[in-house]
Structure 1
């Protein structure tokens, strides 16, 4: 009888233990907003190494702790080594509050758009552009074939390390559509058929965030990128790396590599420039015909330019985080395309970081210089007060 009771006791204990084990709480990610304003379309990143995946199968999914609904997330390879390092998501967090998410696992395959909202690619069919976009803005810059065409006197080339702006006014991807229209139809991306157009002139200017090195009173610039590597595309972020040939700045040889990323819902791309040969660099905004208004706030770390643009208006801007902006220069000259508004940036551990982008009035995002400058100031404030993330 005692043996039977002991056996029953052991079984009950084992059953209770297995139930407790089955009800083990899910790992949580807590996101806290310390500002007095609601926040959304800000990307939160969690290292996958912080997520417990022992004895778990399937893909990592994030659930709203209250509704248990899966939220949109994206895993990324941050260094291009073929291994996913982080998971990204964009919570909506009310002012002075927090939101809790649960980490789960699913064997279901995540559905994905054939062309994700945050998209970039090398474009060999148009010489050798590299283009990128999200739901609000699009950009491109130029490769070595386009440079060689200029150097060899071949029509159709481009010599510029400036950043071009594609003025889209729809929230769906347009890069592939516009290149197809330009190269394979009687249409052109220089004409607005309702989605926007490319009528932003770059030339050798810095466009929207290209860099330069100031020596004495002159600015020196690199040529086109010589190689590229796409790191990620997806619903939340696209990122890639552009490498440039070493270039001369009044006798000093500089090397430059750009890691560029663009997140959903933002007008600004993030630039992380790896530099050798200098510990300061200048990121510029083209002044085109010098008919616009500049804005500068060194304390907040941003510069802007709002100008008439054909039958509309356009704002471009740069935001420098972590007190990295160490000055600015409203540089005007009679030389074509060389007038730029510069933010001087201090490199930290060989890297200069800044954000650059634009808003076209016809996109109905920001309709005045005041609205655009407020966006840049708010963007800067959020960089200084990031959403606080705790993994439990």
Structure 2
């Protein structure tokens, strides 16, 4: 279920639209491969106009068999729902007034001021976090995205992870036992830590002062301008099918100009391994290279850097024995100029917690535009077991974002409640 920005076209809205009881949505797949549970977006303004909706009216989405499909109306007035379309084929859905069934929350997140202002979010497959101003105030260089592996559940787990990790009573007990019973202190520490797998996943990924799991950054003279932690946060969508957050960052110093401000809008949909992220830089005076980076934790790790087909991948060794492998990746809907491994010089390696470098995808950022890309991961203890399977997933994903599903809307009569 991949979050893709769709090319949605209104095909036939007749003059009798306001008398219509239904809107038929025809979803066309231009690729030969099946598109399973991809999230599509429709304009609520067009839907409302065609159905002549009252302010309090509710709508439902039905598949070809007349069964309800989970849906959500987003902060930017889009109706989203997962669609499945065979290769080189079409599928038909119906939107009409009705009482929606309860939708299980699959994508959600929140800020955790009790954990140094982390913003953390998840869906049924994966989980992530970005570091906040309280961490930056301590002088820590939390430039990159972090991640939490997840398995054995499709339900949200991050609140329980954080609740245990920052439990004040447990932390006080650990401090008390540290001198009198170190073994008991260590056992209690492990029992509450999200760095230990308690059956639903864990944080076994090392970020350090790097781009981490897929942060984008400007470059000047082949030097990455690392972004600090976010400065302000606004959660725009919080489930059940989509999480969206807007992060505004501390001003950057770009060639002596200290007024350049980065804004990111991060979206994670149910069923997707990847976040969609739109990055913009205000006050930037000229076109500059922008890179998306994944940190390397071994100099000769398994990397795919495919600029022509628009994706990069890396097999991360994780932070401890028995924690498996994490398959990292990023995909790009627009052309990529270059994709390559860049290793740190030995001195810089020491400054970056002994990380070895990045695999980078290089593009150009035009002032006033959005740089859009997708980034995320899979874990070999969860649904994608091998690097080959992950590379196929990423190659297919890149093709899909470059060949989006196409939607046409037709007003007319159909299923009735």
User: Fold-level match, TM-score > 0.5?
Assistant: yes
TM-score by length of 2: 0.80
The answer to whether the 8 A contact 2:19-2:51 is kept is no
Where does residue 77 of structure 1 map in the other structure?
A: 75
2:371 to 339, 343, 352: 352
The 3-state SS of whatever aligns with 2:142 is coil
How many angstroms does 1:257 deviate by?
Answer: 0.4
Where does residue 155 of structure 1 map in the other structure?
A: none
Q: Would you say 1:88 and 2:80 are equivalent positions?
A: yes
Q: Would you say 1:99 and 2:91 are equivalent positions?
A: yes
Deviations 1:334-357 (A, max 9, x none): 224362111112335421111111
CA distance in 2, matches of 1:386, 1:135: 23
Where does residue 380 of structure 2 map in the other structure?
A: 361
How many angstroms does 1:304 deviate by?
Answer: 1.1
2:150 to 158, 168, 176: 168
2:403 to 381, 385, 390: 385
The 3-state SS of whatever aligns with 2:214 is strand
How many angstroms does 1:275 deviate by?
Answer: 1.5
The answer to whether the 8 A contact 2:315-2:326 is kept is yes
CA distance in 2, matches of 1:33, 1:248: 44
CA distance in 2, matches of 1:327, 1:358: 21
CA distance in 2, matches of 1:145, 1:265: 31
Where does residue 47 of structure 1 map in the other structure?
A: 43
Q: Provide closer, same or farther for how the CA distance between residues 369 and 21 of structure 1 changes in structure 2, counting only shifts above 3 A.
A: closer
1:234 to 236, 239, 243: 239
How many angstroms does 1:329 deviate by?
Answer: 3.6
Q: Would you say 1:140 and 2:129 are equivalent positions?
A: yes
How many angstroms does 1:110 deviate by?
Answer: 4.9
RMSD value, Cα:
2.2
Q: What stretches of structure 2 of length at least 5 have no aligned partner?
A: 1-15, 171-187, 411-417
Q: Would you say 1:63 and 2:74 are equivalent positions?
A: no
Higher mean displacement: 66-75 or 42-51: 66-75
Correspondence 1:202-217 to 2 at 5 A = 202-217=207-222
Q: Would you say 1:260 and 2:272 are equivalent positions?
A: no
The answer to whether the 8 A contact 1:275-1:352 is kept is no
Deviations 1:122-176 (A, max 9, x none): 11121200001111110001111111123xxxxxxx4312100111123221110
1:316 to 323, 328, 332: 328
Higher mean displacement: 54-63 or 379-388: 54-63
The answer to whether the 8 A contact 1:347-1:353 is kept is no
Q: What stretches of structure 1 of length at least 5 have no aligned partner?
A: 1-19, 79-84, 151-157
The 3-state SS of whatever aligns with 1:223 is coil
The answer to whether the 8 A contact 1:38-1:94 is kept is yes
CA distance in 1, matches of 2:233, 2:406: 33
1:284 to 276, 281, 293: 293
CA distance in 1, matches of 2:270, 2:402: 20
CA distance in 2, matches of 1:165, 1:344: 23
Where does residue 111 of structure 1 map in the other structure?
A: 102
Q: Provide closer, same or farther for how the CA distance between residues 191 and 389 of structure 1 changes in structure 2, counting only shifts above 3 A.
A: same
Give the number of the structure with larger relative contact order, counting CA–CA contacts within 8 Å between residues 6 or more apart.
2
The 3-state SS of whatever aligns with 1:40 is strand
How many angstroms does 1:218 deviate by?
Answer: 2.2
Where does residue 181 of structure 1 map in the other structure?
A: 164
Q: Provide closer, same or farther for how the CA distance between residues 178 and 291 of structure 1 changes in structure 2, counting only shifts above 3 A.
A: farther
The answer to whether the 8 A contact 1:63-1:71 is kept is yes
Q: How many residues align?
A: 354
Deviations 1:344-380 (A, max 9, x none): 12335421111111111111x2222221111111001
Q: Would you say 1:371 and 2:389 are equivalent positions?
A: yes
